[in-house]
Amino acid sequence: MDDAAPPIRRRSRFWLFAPFAVVAFVILAWCLAWFVIRARTEEGIDAWLAREAAAGRQWTCADRSVDGFPFRVEVGCSEVSLRRGDLTAAAGRFQAVAQIYQPRHVIVQLAGPLRVAEAGVAAEGRWRLFEASVRSSREGLRQLSAVMTEAAWQVTGPAPEPLAGSAARLEIHARPSPARDDDALDIVARAGQAAVPLLDRALGTPEPADLELQARATRSLRLVGEPVAAELERWRESGGALDIVLLKLVKGAGRLEARGRLGLDPEHRVEGRIEGAAAGADTVLRALLGDGRAGLAAGLLGALAGRAGRPQGGSDAALQPLPPLRLENGRVFLGPLPVPGVRLTPLY
């Protein structure tokens, strides 16, 4: 009798299907994690809105949504507004986006117009694009950058006539100063192709201007947490100041560079001293002091011609030193001469 044939051993198909099972598990886990993050994001927003309401700030986010599956978290509002006492502010669509793997880096987009009103002062801003980048850590803000294109604004109330202007591009960058331990904030702001009628009249030239400001705010302001007037007063009493590292203005053939320090006096008016140099300084002085003081302006320039007080870093030999600009007791002085018709009013 023949021996029975050995049974055929079937190979396990586990390793054939294992990769697909692992991929399916990862996808399922990722989906569950995203929905957990979404739920926590909504809870965090609700908790923040409740804290703000308890502090007297009523935020409204119309048609709020949380989307972005599978790799992002997007928070959107069709309109956003704020009410705090007499202050009201409203803007168009708001969207904040963060990648799942970079939750502390948020990109914000805001649609205009932005309208702000408080105590008889009203401001309105419009733009084609507004985008901001906010980086934070457990210690707080690390870096803020914002860019606005084709911007226009108007402020009514603080002056007899509206303060208006426009710019092809505005940008601002801020971060805690790495060289200071007193909550100082480093700020860089730029405006390209800016048109400001008040500046045009002051300098007597209609060309658009390019401006750059590099500054450091000591005892940095925290305008989000307190009423503006209360926070400005806290900042003033703590010795806060705005150190102007460099202010640069290019307008037509004219150029200006300046440095100095500004603060607030006990009457809540801007005070300080700014030293500068300009190309076409005689034109600037005549525009500010008036044609009737043209001789005095020429005398000031002559006295300053040999002064070594040109702003540090000024590389243009055509820049002439200007008399120091002083703001004190509500008046504005160029050297010893008061600027006619200019009075500083309290900010709050």
What's the whole-model pTM score? Answer: 0.79
For residue 199, what pLDDT is reported?
A: 79
In whole angstroms, what is the distance from residue 24 CA to residue 18 CA? 10
Q: At what angle do helices 281-289 and 294-304 cross, to 10 degrees?
A: 140
How is the chain split into domains, by residue range?
20-169
For residue 313, what pLDDT is reported?
A: 47
Average pLDDT per 10 consecutive residues for the chain, totaling 348 residues: 57 67 85 92 94 90 94 96 91 96 94 91 95 90 94 85 92 88 87 90 83 90 64 88 94 89 94 88 62 54 49 58 90 84 82
**In 68-195, which residue ranges form alpha helices assigned H by DSSP?**
none
Residues 6+ apart with CB under 8 A from 159: none
Q: Which long-range contacts (CB under 8 A, 24 or more apart) does 312-317 make?
A: 312/259, 313/246, 313/257, 314/257, 314/277, 316/255, 316/279
In whole angstroms, what is the distance from residue 173 CA to residue 188 CA? 5
For residue 281, what pLDDT is reported?
A: 61
